C-alpha cells in the first residue's frame, strides 16, 4: 500500500505529486473568517462527452446544485457567497474559453481567487463529477484516484535496441533510448560461423546488461515502484540472467511486444498488468478484513468507531463501500465529524450540517495521510461493518 500523497512543502503549503507536475495549494484548514474554495472534479472523457458543451452542461448542473445548497445552509456569510459566485464564474469561463482537452479525460480545478489560489490539473484518467465549496481545497477524490495507481518503469528490449518509459496514472512518457549496434549474424559455414555466433551472443548479452543497468538507474532516479518488461519469449532468459536483483524483486509482469510499438499500445499492456495487481491486492485485503475486524486490534468497523478513530487522527487506511453516503455534522473549528451533536464534543463550537459525512470522513482521512479505497458493494465483511472500516496507526 502506498503512503499518503499529501506532502508538506513548507509551513502552510502542501503539495501532491502528480505524474508530470505538482499540485500545490495553501493549507486553508481552520482559517478564521475563511474564504470559500471551489474544488471541481470534472469528467471530460471524450468517449462520454463528445463535445465541449456536454461537459460544460455537467458543470452547469453542479453549479446550480452548489448554489442551492449554499443558500439553504446558513454556514456562509453574504461576502462568502459573493466570493463563491465569483470563483464559480471564473471556472465556468475557463471551461468555455481557455481549456483544451488535448487527450485529457479528467480535470481538477481548485479556485479561491481572494487568496490567490488557482490550480488547473488535467488528468489522463477519468474522474467522477464533483463540485465542492468549502473553506479548504477538497482532496479526497484526487488522493483516492492516485492510490489506485503505482509508478511503473517499463523496459522494452530487443537484441539491438532498448527503450525506457515511465507510466503513472494513465500518463506514459519515454525517457531515453539505448541503441546498440549489434553485429549482424552472417550465414557462413564452418569454424568462422561458430566464432561469429559466439561473438554475436556476447554482444547481445552486453547490450542487455547495459539496458538492465540503465533501467536500474532510471528506476532509482525516478523512485518508481514496479518494473514491467516488454521482450520476446526467447530473449527473456538472457535478460533475466543480467537483470539486477533489485529490479527482479520489483518485476510486476512481462509481455511480448514489438520494440517499435507506440506509446498507446505499451500503455494498454501496462494497464492490464496494473489492473491484475490491483484486483489481487484488493482481494487479499478484503479477505483479511473479516478476521481483522473480529480480532478488533488493528481495524475498527462501523461509522461510529471509524469517525472516532478519524477524529483522533489514528487512521492510516480507510475502506469504504462505493456509493455509501449519510448526512451528518462537522465542526468548523476543529474539523471533528459526528452524526448528531449540536456542539462540538472537543471544542464546543456549534456544529454545521453536511450532506455526506462519508465524503467528510474520506477528506479527513486524506488529511491524516491515510490511503482511502472504495470497493464495490458485495463484500460480506464490509457490509457487516456498516460499509466502512479503518485500519489504525496505533
* Cβ 327 to Zn ion shortest distance, Å: 18
* Cβ 334 to Zn ion shortest distance, Å: 3
Whichever of 290 and 332 has its CB closer to Zn ion, that residue is: 332
What are the residues facing 42 on neighbouring strands?
107
What are the residues facing 14 on neighbouring strands?
8, 25
Q: Where are the beta strands (DSSP E) in 272-336?
A: 299-301, 315-321, 328-330
The DSSP letter of residue 236 is: H
Q: Which three cell numbers stand for residue 11?
A: 509551513
Whichever of 23 and 306 has its CB closer to Zn ion, that residue is: 306
* Cβ 330 to Zn ion shortest distance, Å: 9
Instruction: Return d(Cα 385, Cα 380) in angstroms, integer.
Output: 9
What phi and psi values does residue 361 have, to the nearest 5 degrees?
-65, -40
Whichever of 90 and 334 has its CB closer to Zn ion, that residue is: 334
- Could you report how far apart the first and last alpha carbons of the chain are, in Å? 17
* Cβ 345 to Zn ion shortest distance, Å: 8
Whichever of 147 and 335 has its CB closer to Zn ion, that residue is: 335
Instruction: Return d(Cα 300, Cα 275) in angstroms, integer.
Output: 28
* Cβ 349 to Zn ion shortest distance, Å: 5
Place of cell 459566485: 85
Whichever of 261 and 334 has its CB closer to Zn ion, that residue is: 334
* Cβ 88 to Zn ion shortest distance, Å: 28
Whichever of 154 and 351 has its CB closer to Zn ion, that residue is: 351
Place of cell 457487516: 384
Residues that bind Zn ion (CB under 5 A): 331, 333-334, 336, 344, 347, 349
* Cβ 341 to Zn ion shortest distance, Å: 10
Identify whether the C-beta of residue 161 lies closer than 8 Å to the C-beta of residue 259: yes
Whichever of 146 and 331 has its CB closer to Zn ion, that residue is: 331
Distances from the Cα of 38 to the Cα of 14, 24, 328, 366, angstroms: 17, 15, 21, 18
Q: Is the dihedral of CA 204, 210, 213, 214 positive or negative?
A: negative
Residues 6+ apart with CB under 8 A from 101: 44, 46, 52, 122
Q: Which three cell numbers stand for residue 9?
A: 512543502
* Cβ 344 to Zn ion shortest distance, Å: 3
Whichever of 74 and 378 has its CB closer to Zn ion, that residue is: 74
Whichever of 284 and 347 has its CB closer to Zn ion, that residue is: 347
Instruction: Return d(Cα 329, Cα 224) in angstroms, integer.
Output: 40
Task: Tell me which residue of 164, 154, 201, 159 sits closest to 180, measured CA to CA.
Answer: 159
Q: Which three cell numbers stand for residue 40?
A: 471541481
Distances from the Cα of 247 to the Cα of 92, 147, 171, angstroms: 46, 22, 22
* Cβ 331 to Zn ion shortest distance, Å: 3
Amino acid at each position: 500500500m502506498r503512503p499518503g500523497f499529501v506532502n508538506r512543502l513548507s509551513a502552510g503549503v502542501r503539495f501532491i505529486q502528480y505524474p508530470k507536475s505538482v499540485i500545490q495549494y495553501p493549507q486553508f484548514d481552520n482559517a478564521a473568517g475563511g474564504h470559500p474554495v471551489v474544488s471541481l472534479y470534472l469528467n471530460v472523457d471524450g468517449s462520454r462527452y463528445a463535445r465541449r458543451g456536454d461537459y460544460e452542461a455537467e458543470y452547469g448542473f453542479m453549479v446550480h446544485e452548489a448554489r442551492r445548497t449554499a443558500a439553504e445552509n446558513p454556514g456562509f456569510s453574504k461576502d462568502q457567497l459573493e466570493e463563491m459566485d465569483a470563483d464559480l464564474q471564473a471556472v465556468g469561463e475557463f471551461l468555455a474559453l481557455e481549456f483544451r482537452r488535448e487527450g485529457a479525460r479528467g480535470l481538477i480545478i481548485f479556485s479561491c481567487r481572494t487568496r490567490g489560489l488557482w490550480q488547473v490539473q488535467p488528468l489522463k484518467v477519468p474522474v467522477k463529477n464533483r463540485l465542492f465549496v468549502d473553506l479548504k481545497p477538497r482532496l479526497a477524490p484526487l488522493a483516492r484516484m492516485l492510490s489506485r495507481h503505482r509508478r511503473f518503469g517499463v523496459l522494452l528490449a530487443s537484441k539491438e535496441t532498448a527503450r525506457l518509459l515511465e507510466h503513472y496514472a494513465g500518463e506514459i512518457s519515454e525517457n531515453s533510448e539505448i541503441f546498440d549496434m549489434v553485429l549482424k549474424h552472417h550465414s557462413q559455414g564452418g569454424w568462422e560461423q561458430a566464432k561469429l555466433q559466439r561473438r554475436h551472443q556476447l554482444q547481445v548479452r552486453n547490450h542487455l546488461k547495459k539496458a538492465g543497468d540503465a533501467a536500474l538507474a532510471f528506476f532509482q532516479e525516478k523512485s518508481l515502484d514496479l518494473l514491467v518488461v516488454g521482450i520476446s519469449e526467447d530473449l527473456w532468459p538472457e535478460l533475466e540472467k543480467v537483470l539486477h536483483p533489485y529490479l527482479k524483486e520489483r518485476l510486476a509482469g512481462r509481455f511480448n511486444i514489438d520494440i517499435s510499438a507506440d506509446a498507446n499500445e505499451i500503455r494498454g499492456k501496462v494497464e492490464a498488468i496494473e489492473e491484475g495487481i490491483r484486483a489481487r491486492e484488493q482481494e487479499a485485503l478484503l479477505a483479511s478484513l473479516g478476521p481483522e475486524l473480529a480480532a478488533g486490534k488493528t481495524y475498527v468497523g462501523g461509522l461510529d468507531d471509524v469517525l472516532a478513530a478519524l477524529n483522533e487522527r489514528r487512521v492510516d487506511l480507510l475502506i469504504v463501500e462505493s456509493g455509501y453516503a449519510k448526512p451528518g455534522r462537522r465542526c468548523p473549528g476543529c474539523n471533528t465529524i459526528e452524526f448528531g451533536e449540536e456542539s462540538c464534543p472537543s471544542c464546543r463550537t456549534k456544529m454545521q450540517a453536511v450532506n455526506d459525512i462519508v465524503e467528510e470522513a474520506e477528506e479527513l482521512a486524506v488529511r491524516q495521510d491515510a490511503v482511502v479505497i472504495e470497493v464495490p458493494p458485495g463484500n460480506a465483511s464490509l457490509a457487516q461493518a456498516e460499509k466502512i472500516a479503518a485500519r489504525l496507526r496505533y
